[in-house]
A = this chain, B = another copy of it.
């Protein structure tokens, strides 16, 4: 019989997690496996900030690389390593056909010479896939772009910075110690600052006087407030983490960026005066729609040039329906 060691929480977290929030208990596992089940022993775990925000009925979530000790499942041989999202437990029995926490499925870790299996929890795991998908495939980086990354020495941020560097971007990173900043410079970051001693405002004024093209945000809060004033035209902002802001409200209004993150919403600004060259093309389309009666224009017409100021004032009273026009 196998006895698993299991970390549990004694009570819900309040503020920053404390050691007294946790207890280590033992759990006896079943003696025999059913079809499609495997027994695994943990080899590596990952811990990530998102765990703080989840309160799963199955306990604390965490992904692990485990070794298969016994198997009744095809393609999951004894001795192989497997990625398993079964929580903070030293041993576990799982059915390989069932999805685990957060929708993950058990996956064999291939043997790749020179690569530690632990990397499947990091650069080749959730943080790495996050950086790749969110930065490369959603931020449209191109050579010469100025990129700023919050929490740049973390698992996601450090990979985003390297991917940006490889794309020929100018990469600005923020971290919280000299050791972290030094490492980021070693990775090829163009400009690094310690947010504990240098403000975002100071850093961007110095390192990105013309503004930033891409802001990859792992943090939120005041960092975001400051960066928003330094966006170049057509800047891309990727909201990946909001540690500083998940629960913050302003004047009682919840942080909109947290809601943008979880909805994976896309928010974009539009300023018509940047698009004057599009007018001829679009006008043709609209004329056709109006002629086909697919668009019904409506005008509120004020007669007389001498009444133009009043017509303008009336706009702010909502007096017009459709377009406000002055007929001279």
Chain B residues with Cβ below 8 Å from A118 are: 299, 301, 325, 327
How far is A231 from B260 in the complex, measured between Cα atoms in Å?
Answer: 8
- Most chain B Cβ neighbours within 10 Å, of A52, A128, A133: A128
Chain B residues with Cβ below 8 Å from A257 are: 256, 267, 269
Q: Would you call A326 and B47 a contact (CB within 8 A)? A: yes
0/1 interface trace, chain A 133-167, chain B, CB 8 Å (1 if under): 11000100000000000000111001100110010
How far is A214 from B74 in the complex, measured between Cα atoms in Å?
Answer: 45
- Most chain B Cβ neighbours within 10 Å, of A187, A233, A257, A264: A264
How far is A285 from B269 in the complex, measured between Cα atoms in Å?
Answer: 33
A1 within 8 A of B: no
Q: Would you call B19 and A309 a contact (CB within 8 A)? A: yes
Chain B residues with Cβ below 8 Å from A266 are: 234-237, 266-268
Chain B residues with Cβ below 8 Å from A47 are: 308, 311-312, 315, 324, 326
0/1 interface trace, chain A 300-324, chain B, CB 8 Å (1 if under): 0100011011111101101011111
How far is A251 from B223 in the complex, measured between Cα atoms in Å?
Answer: 15
CB distance from A43 to the nearest CB of B (A): 6
A25 within 8 A of B: no
A132 within 8 A of B: yes
Q: How many residues of A contact B (CB 8 A)?
A: 137
A57 within 8 A of B: no
Chain B residues with Cβ below 8 Å from A275 are: 129, 133
Residue from the list B18, B105, B232, B291 in contact with A313, Cβ < 8 A:
B18
Q: Would you call A325 and B46 a contact (CB within 8 A)? A: yes
| Residues from 1 to 34 in A contacting B, C-beta threshold 8 Å | 5, 7, 16-19, 21-22, 24
How far is A73 from B281 in the complex, measured between Cα atoms in Å?
Answer: 24
**Given A269-B260, A271-B262, A276-B103, A16–B313 Cβ distance below 8 Å?**
yes
CB distance from A107 to the nearest CB of B (A): 8
How far is A129 from B153 in the complex, measured between Cα atoms in Å?
Answer: 44
A: residues with CB less than 8 A from B are 5, 7, 16-19, 21-22, 24, 41-49, 51-52, 62, 88, 90, 102-105, 107, 112, 114-116, 118-124, 126-130, 132-134, 138, 153-155, 158-159, 162-163, 166, 176-177, 179-180, 183, 187, 224-225, 228-229, 231-240, 250-251, 253-254, 256-257, 259-276, 278-279, 282-283, 285-287, 289-291, 294-299, 301, 305-306, 308-313, 315-316, 318, 320-328
